[in-house]
Amino acid sequence: MMTARFTLPALLALAIAACQQSNDDSNITIDNEINAAEAANADVETLPPSEESGDPDVTNRPDEADDDGSDDAGQLVIPAAFRGRWGMVPADCTSTRGDAKGLIVIGPTSIKFYESLATLTKVTMDAPENFTGTFSFIGEGQTWTKSQNLKLTGSSNTLVRSDTEPAASYRYKRCET
């Protein structure tokens, strides 16, 4: 009887430890996938980050995309007005614990999410304060392609990101630098 009393808690502790280990491995895999995707784009020459931005993933270049959504070098770009750090809640912008699940970082050619990275593959619409593009996503052990619409409102300090399939909208506030 005494053995059964100690066996059940020991088995529960082992099960919990196994789940935590699996979750840690999943996060490492996601980070490796994102790093691999970023490394694949490393041969593209970019300008250094703006002194206004404290995030090295964000390049605030004054040049805008041409009519076809590309820069002067022919590379597809997300317009500078959309670039930066955006949070769904204020804590997303200030967390130092790595738990900012509502934070997105928009760079010249990609959007970095909590557990995925979206790389711009096609520009569908590029109008002032309204941008739509097709993005190739990688994360959580999967890859997929999805259209994203980005709209700026509130003196360009509010971003609405919309998906079409399934239809959903997400509201972000620009993080202060």
Distance CA 170, CA 149 (A): 10
pLDDT at 57: 43
pLDDT of the chain along its 177 residues, tens only? 444 444 444 434 434 444 444 444 444 444 444 444 444 443 333 333 333 334 444 433 334 444 545 555 568 999 999 999 999 999 999 988 877 899 999 999 999 999 999 999 999 999 999 999 999 999 999 999 999 999 999 899 999 999 988 899 999 999 987
pLDDT at 164: 84
**150, 106, 138, 146: which is closest to 122 by C-alpha?**
146
Reading the block at residue 56, the tokens are 């090295």
Task: Confirm if 125 and 118 have CB atoms less than 8 A apart.
Answer: no
pLDDT at 70: 57
Residue at token pair 């390049």? 59
pLDDT at 177: 72
Reading the block at residue 16, the tokens are 């919990």
The residue ranges of DSSP E strands in 39-177, in sequence order, are 84-87, 103-106, 110-112, 116-127, 130-139, 142-153, 158-164, 167-174
**47, 49, 51, 77: which is closest to 64 by C-alpha?**
77
